[in-house]
Amino acid sequence: MACSSSRLKSFSLTSTTHSVSASARSADNVDIFLTSRLAAGSGTINALSNQAHTNRYKMTPLDAGRPAKKTKVDKSVKGSKPAKAEKTKTEKTQPKEKTTATKLKADKPSKKEAKKEVKDVKEVKEVEEVEDDEVEAGSVIGEDDEDVDDEAEAAEGAVKSEEPKTFKELGVVDVLCEICNTLNFTTPTPIQAQAIPVALQDRDIIGTAETGSGKTLAFALPILQALLDKPRPFFGLVLAPTRELAVQISQTFDAFASIALRCTVLVGGMDMVPQTIALGKRPHVIVATPGRLLEHLQKTKGFSLRSLRYLVIDEADRMLDMDFGPVFEKILPFLPRETRRTMLFSATMSSKVESLQRASLRDPVRVAVRSHLLADGEGDGEGQTVRTLKQSMWLVPLKAKDTALVYLMNEYNGRSIIVFTRTIYETHRLSILLRALGFGAIPLNGKLSQSARLAALNKIKSGGRDILIATDVAARGLDIPRINIVINFDVPQDSKTYVHRVGRTARAGKSGHAINLVTQYDSFHFLAIEKAIGMERKITPLPVDKEEMMVFHERVEEAQRYAKAGMREWQEKQALAGKGGKRKRAGANVIGGRDDMDREEM
């Protein structure tokens, strides 16, 4: 059934002549749908819906709505004044036959003109100094102009030179610095440069930074340095919202095993007996999801965290969005308060996060790093995306989404891609559909066993598979360096989820591409997300070849039938496995439902 992606491109147009010609008959009407990109008004959305059914598989050229390119301003002339066409007394006394070149050599500026020139130079310098001060304060500017004058470049270089170049300059001890060097962690990231010195001063921290900024090492190094000074069991506790993130954090701590560090992971979906045995060995650091930690605190005999020195709450906003607030309130009484230091890290700050910090932190120091955020979203919205991320959208009829996805898979063949869907059902269906067409796709969702989820991530990280079909269980905190493209097959429910999804690419200053498939029913919702992240009508349309896309239509329909049969078998296996009740509930609301990974993580 499977065929290679290269064979997909070579499909004959004759096999789909009927489909293409049928679609071509309504080509004149397509422009109505295409040029009405996210237009406001109920009448418009009804027109979009009717037009989508009329033009079943015609895709948009999507040139409409593209924002005009901004004119680049030359900083070298900023602040200067236009020359006046007045004649000086000296010029009037010169003979008319004298040439311009002779005038420039012979004439000397008057004292009044000289003072005026000095004044203009001072004004230019003052403007440049103000701009440099804004850069130092962390304001976001556009791309660096190549023609910035020498003085501005020197000032910018002086600011950069003040930042710490090594972990040793931050106060990290030599033994940890050596391990960092072996792990290729040579230069601190901005969040590390700000958070580590504060943590080493024994202060509580609230850290805000975009994903992929190096937050894990920012809290791991202070914990390990304090542990070297006074080693004892149950020294540090790190809480993470998902199993995958917990495992990833534990791997960072395990990299420092040469200092005789013992670290254990407590997550749901795993047998509690091995975890109880691991706790009996009295580890120095515990990395856990809130639900499983509370279960051990309540049921495991002899397990106590009264001697805990450090508490880290990672991805706090995501944790609270997953309704872990009540669980966290039950955990707090098991922890010491006076002798505990707490570090809270989050990509966004909300009222829930503020309430959590008031309940768990004492006189915290706020650390915020937003150096790579888009200027459009600065301080205006629920979250922002990084500057190195290219964002595109594609208006596509609902019934043609599968064909559009296959077209993208073929266009970006060989790239590492994450496709985000809204439901567990869709992760499995799309995986079967893409594999039937020769693409190496693998699902990841909250209903998979822990071993299956880790296996899926390892295949993506190692390059064994290129395409990951995931729900939002994979949208937060995971660091998968190879991801080049994120495709939102289903538009996310809110702007926070959007920022977290697209944050899987363009990490740590690298470039990436996010593509959004927007149907006629998602237009208003997507417009609201654009506005919330400060990108209203600025996410550019994706250029596509409509005729080439329609070549895949017939093969996609065949693969859809194959996937439908495969999903029937999958659901039967779930029922036979003795999990019919819960699986039926998951399958009953697969159309428009949400992944109940919050219950799964507990």
Per-residue pLDDT, 427: 95
pLDDT at position 572: 86
Q: pTM, whole model, 2 decimals?
A: 0.61
Of 80-94, 226-240, 243-257, 507-521, least confident by mean pLDDT is 80-94
- In whole angstroms, give the CA distance from residue 31 to residue 29: 6
Region of poorest pLDDT, from 61-75, 106-120, 430-444, 562-576: 61-75
Q: Which positions ≥6 away from 476 have C-beta within 8 Å?
A: 211, 241, 242, 245, 315, 318, 500, 503
Asked if residue 33 belongs to a domain, the reply is no
402 and 556 Cβ atoms separated by less than 8 Å? yes
Quote the pLDDT of residue 369.
79
| Highest mean pLDDT out of 84-98, 242-256, 314-328 | 242-256
pLDDT over 90 (residue 344): yes
Residue 106 has pLDDT above 80, yes or no: no
- In terms of average pLDDT, the best of 99-113, 392-406, 440-454, 476-490 is 392-406
| Whether residues 194 and 323 fall in one domain | yes
Of 332, 354, 370, the residue at which a domain comes to its end is 370
User: 3-state secondary structure string, 163-220?
Assistant: CCCCCHHHCCCHHHHHHHHHCCCCCCCHHHHHHHHHHHCCCCEEEEECCCCCHHHHHH
Q: Is the pLDDT of residue 7 over 60?
A: no
Please, what sign has the CA dihedral across residues 26, 32, 36, 39? Answer: negative
Is residue 235, in this structure, part of any structural domain at all?
yes
> Are 409 and 330 members of one domain?
no
pLDDT band for 482, please (50, 70, 90 cuts).
Answer: confident
- H or E stretch at 390: strand 389-395
Q: Token digits for 459?
A: 């295949």
Q: Are residues 185 and 313 both part of a single domain?
A: yes
Q: Are 496 and 529 in contact (CB under 8 A)?
A: no
172 and 318 housed in the same domain:
yes
Contacts 24+ apart (CB under 8 A), 221-224: 221/167, 221/172, 221/176, 221/180, 221/192, 221/196, 222/195, 222/196, 222/310, 222/343, 223/285, 223/310, 223/312, 224/176, 224/253, 224/256, 224/259, 224/261
Model confidence at 506, pLDDT cuts 50, 70, 90, reads confident
Residue 434 shares a structural domain with residue 469: yes
Tell me if 133 is assigned to some domain: no
Q: Which residue has the higher pLDDT, 321 or 141?
A: 321
For residue 472, the domain's CATH number is: 3.40.50.300
Q: What is the DSSP string of 102-151?
A: HHHHH----HHHHHHHHHHHHHHHHHHHHHHHHHHTT----SPPTT--HH
521 closest CA partner among 381, 382, 391, 399: 399
* Domain presence at residue 532: yes
For tokens 């768990």, name the residue: 360
pLDDT band at 322 (very low <50, low <70, confident <90, very high): confident
Residue with tokens 């003040």: 162
How does residue 163 score in pLDDT terms, banded at 50, 70 and 90? Answer: low
d(CA 37, CA 59): 13
> What is the tally of structural domains in the chain?
2
Domain end among 370, 391, 425: 370
pLDDT digits (tens, 9 = 90+) for 519-531: 999 999 999 999 9
Candidate ranges 355-364, 503-512, 530-539, 546-555; pick with highest mean pLDDT: 546-555
Query: Looking at the structure, do residues 184 and 326 belong to the same domain, yes or no?
Result: yes
Please tell me whether residues 468 and 522 are part of one structural domain. Answer: yes
Assigned domain for 155 exists: no
Give the residue numbers spanning the domain of 196. 168-370
Q: pLDDT tier at 105 (50, 70, 90 boundaries)?
A: very low
Same domain, residue pair 410 and 527: yes
For range 235-250, the mean pLDDT? 93
pLDDT of residue 164: 63
Residues 196 and 218 in one domain: yes
Edge-to-edge strand order for the sheet containing 341-346?
263-266, 285-288, 236-239, 310-313, 341-346, 205-209, 365-369
Give the pair of three-digit tokens for residue 500.
């977290």
Across 38-52, 158-172, 550-564, the highest mean pLDDT is recorded for 550-564
Token digits of residue 280: 């009996």
Residue 129 has pLDDT above 60, yes or no: no
Q: Distance between CA atoms of 287 and 296, rounded to whole angstroms? A: 13
Evaluate whether 406 touches 8 at the Cβ level (below 8 Å): yes
The number of C-alpha atoms within 13 Å of 89 and in the hemisphere containing its C-beta is 4
| 344 and 471, same domain (yes or no) | no
Residue with the larger pLDDT of the pair 106 and 187: 187
445 in the same domain as 334? no
pLDDT at 209 over 90: no
- Cβ atoms of 35 and 569 within 8 Å: the answer is no
Cβ within 8 Å of residue 226, ≥6 positions away: 235, 309, 310
Q: Considering the domain boundaries, does residue 125 fall inside one?
A: no
Q: Please check whether residue 64 lies inside any domain of the structure.
A: no
Residue 489 forms part of a structural domain: yes
Q: What is the pLDDT of residue 454?
A: 85
Distance from C-alpha of 302 to C-alpha of 305, rounded to nearest angstrom: 10
Q: What is the mean pLDDT of residues 103-125?
A: 47
Distance between CA atoms of 580 and 559, rounded to whole angstroms? 27
Q: Where among 314, 338, 370 does a domain terminate?
A: 370
Specify whether 439 is located in the same domain as 494: yes
Residue 485 in this model has a pLDDT that exceeds 50? yes
Residues 6 or more apart in contact with residue 595 via CB below 8 angstroms:
422, 423, 424, 445, 446, 447, 471, 472, 473
